[in-house]
Amino acid sequence: MLSQKTFTQFPGTSQRSLHELFLQLYADQQLHWPMLAGGVAALHNVQTRTIDCGTFSVRLQYNPKRIVSSGAKVDAASIQERKCFLCVGNLPPEQQGILYKEKFLVLCNPMPIFREHFTISHIDHIPQSIEEQILPFLSLAKDLSPHYSVFYNGPKCGASAPDHMHFQSAPSGMIPVEMELLGHARIKKNLNGITISSLDRYGRSVVVLEGKSKQEMELTFLRLTSVLRKTMKTNDEPMMNVIASFLNESWRLIIFIRSKHRPAVYFKEGEERVLISPASVDMGGLVVTPIEKDFRSVDAPLMNEIYKELSVSEDMLNTVIEKI
Ligand SMILES: [Zn+2]
């Protein structure tokens, strides 16, 4: 089954870069898979609007097709009942992907937030875990640089398939935080060549790790998750969204530390309900609103409130960084 679904492999015999293979797959799948062609065409009709939140701004995207993801039921019972849409055997007949290092299949996302939106799915049905998969995550960021960033949504932080390990990728700079980082980053400490920063006046709890050694990046990241487990008194993976990139010979992980999956307004009834279900892209400043009413009405106070509600406190973030 996997061989039927493999468009090409990386590394392969062709010597082409992973970026070139991504573009080839994207073009080929648009020709042969009408659902993807429809999703890409629908991107021409999405509307955007920028909200000034004082010390930062948020870009809203009205994208009706994303209702499937934003409205997804991700509780254990609903997940168990449905057929996993990332398992190789359940992919649509037309869908193919790039087999990455024999472990992941790079697939085109048929309900994209931006052009060239990919889902990078593990070939096995294993649960979402960034701690187990941090090394392939860093490898992908390097192999896709400088063209794409890779991101991860925790099982309770926006992943619509929490039971099936996957990353996503976006063209570099598409997620606003990547461009805004410089103006907000404050270095907190250096640890074995890894710089640890937080973002000031950004309305969210964010830790940024940067460094040239892959091994030290891995160790520092795992130290962070271990401190978070202890601080939050949980055995589960700490709630987070992570965006990885590789620039100037250094890795960079932008980590949104979360206290909650969905904001209170998500669960309100009728007109009061606001269908915003933040994952990496939304925490990074591009907020998807599948409902037109929400796109028109969301304002700066509400966005500030949502970010605050989903983040941990500044005190807690500082304590965590101190303990790394
Ligand atoms: Zn699966």
Nearest to 123 by CA among 11, 6, 279, 244: 6
Return the pLDDT at 103: 98
List residues bridging with 169 in a β-sheet: 118, 150
What is the whole-number distance in angstroms between the Cα of residue 237 and the centre of ligand 1? 19
Average pLDDT, integer, range 90-115? 97
Q: Kind of pairing, strands 166-171 and 148-153?
A: antiparallel
pTM of the predicted model, to two decimals?
Answer: 0.97
Return the pLDDT at 197: 98
Report residue 100 as tokens: 């990455």
Given a contact cutoff of 8 angstroms between Cβ atoms, the answer to whether 168 and 119 are in contact is yes
Inform me whether the pLDDT recorded for 14 exceeds 90.
Answer: no
Inform me whether the pLDDT recorded for 70 exceeds 80.
Answer: no
What is the whole-number distance in angstroms between the Cα of residue 136 and the centre of ligand 1? 18
What is the whole-number distance in angstroms between the Cα of residue 124 and the centre of ligand 1? 7
What is the whole-number distance in angstroms between the Cα of residue 129 and the centre of ligand 1? 14
Render pLDDT for 32-46 as a digit per residue (tens, 0 to 9). Answer: 999 999 999 999 989
Render pLDDT for 119-128 as a digit per residue (tens, 0 to 9). Answer: 999 999 999 9
What is the whole-number distance in angstroms between the Cα of residue 151 and the centre of ligand 1? 19
Given a contact cutoff of 8 angstroms between Cβ atoms, the answer to whether 139 and 101 are in contact is yes
What is the whole-number distance in angstroms between the Cα of residue 182 and the centre of ligand 1? 38
Return the pLDDT at 66: 85
Going by pLDDT thresholds of 50, 70 and 90, the confidence category of residue 303 is: very high
What is the whole-number distance in angstroms between the Cα of residue 112 and the centre of ligand 1? 20
Q: Average pLDDT of the chain?
A: 95
Inform me whether the pLDDT recorded for 76 exceeds 90.
Answer: no
Where do we find the tokens 């620039």? Answer: 247
Average pLDDT, integer, range 185-202? 97
Average pLDDT, integer, range 171-196? 96
- Provide CB contacts within 8 A for 75, sequence distance 6+: none
Separation of alpha carbons 134 and 140, rounded Å: 10
Q: Which residues of 67-84 are buried (b: 16+ CB within 10 A; e: fewer)?
A: eebbebebeeeebeeeee
What is the whole-number distance in angstroms between the Cα of residue 159 and the centre of ligand 1? 13
Return the pLDDT at 79: 80
| Residue of higher predicted confidence among 76 and 249 | 249
Distances (CA, A) of 182 to 72, 177, 188: 34, 9, 14
Render pLDDT for 228-286 as a digit per residue (tens, 0 to 9). Answer: 999 999 999 999 999 999 999 999 999 999 999 999 999 999 999 999 999 999 999 99
Given a contact cutoff of 8 angstroms between Cβ atoms, the answer to whether 164 and 84 are in contact is yes
Inform me whether the pLDDT recorded for 172 exceeds 90.
Answer: yes
What is the whole-number distance in angstroms between the Cα of residue 103 and the centre of ligand 1? 14
What is the whole-number distance in angstroms between the Cα of residue 119 and the centre of ligand 1? 13
